[in-house]
Amino acid sequence: MDEAVMGMCRRLTLFTRKEEIEEQLGVEIPDFKASYNIAPSQQVLTIAANKAETKAGFLQWGLIPSWAENQNIGFELIHARAETIDTKPTFQRLLSRRRCLIVVDGYYEWNGEGTPYRVILNEEEVLTLAGLWDTWIGASGEEIASCTMIMTNTNQLLKGLNERMPVILDEGNREAWLDWTISDGELLKRMLTPYESGKMRVYQVSERVNNPCNDSKELVDRV
């Protein structure tokens, strides 16, 4: 069985048209190739902000902290727990100043039998997932900007699939999440709650999604 079946939210999709994303989020989005099976270590579309601007770009999925000896740690830091994000040293320093949104239009989950499902919003709008980012510079000068996805307890809709789910931020919370003037850890943690079940839906997809080499539109079809 593929490793993704054993993990939580280890595959993403993003094939919504660039213009639609820009209209929904109000941010200019760089050109990108549609992907129906984004895996850890691959690039994900993100939005981050600083004092000067809010900007979209691509980060490697799997956090490599600036202090890491090598980039292999990224495979261990795909996710971060919402409950301890303000106390674990790896994430604590990023919470105040290096927050981002990971932009997707769906993600995959697997049930206990290994059957894959796709999770989307009812209106099929893009999802903005809470994340943290950092930049690592290797001994040879190689620079990698990477991110991790914040996970919280699951909602009622997804309980049969997993005990955890990504933090999905609605319009109000995503603006606050990107507000560089906010650094209060407790205030930020209050945003990291399960998304409403009634605004989401889930459906079964092909087991071909188990293989990260597969990346075609048929992966998101209902079976």
Determine the Cα–Cα distance for residues 170 and 177; give it in Å rounded to an integer.
Answer: 10
Q: Would residue 186 show up in a list of annotated catalytic residues for this protein?
A: no
Q: 3-class DSSP state for residue 37?
A: strand
Sheet holding 106-110, edge to edge: 35-38, 11-14, 106-110, 116-121, 200-204
Single out the catalytic residue among 20, 28, 109, 123.
109
54 and 125 Cβ atoms separated by less than 8 Å: no
Q: Is 76 a catalytic residue?
A: no
Tokens of 178: 């990107």
E strand segments, the chain: 11-14, 35-38, 43-49, 54-61, 79-81, 99-104, 106-110, 116-121, 127-137, 143-153, 164-166, 200-204
**Is the Cα dihedral 23, 15, 9, 163 positive or negative?**
positive
The residues pairing with 153 across neighbouring beta strands, listed in sequence order, are 164
- Of the candidates 9, 142, 143, 147, the residue annotated as catalytic is 9
Catalytic machinery residues? 9, 109
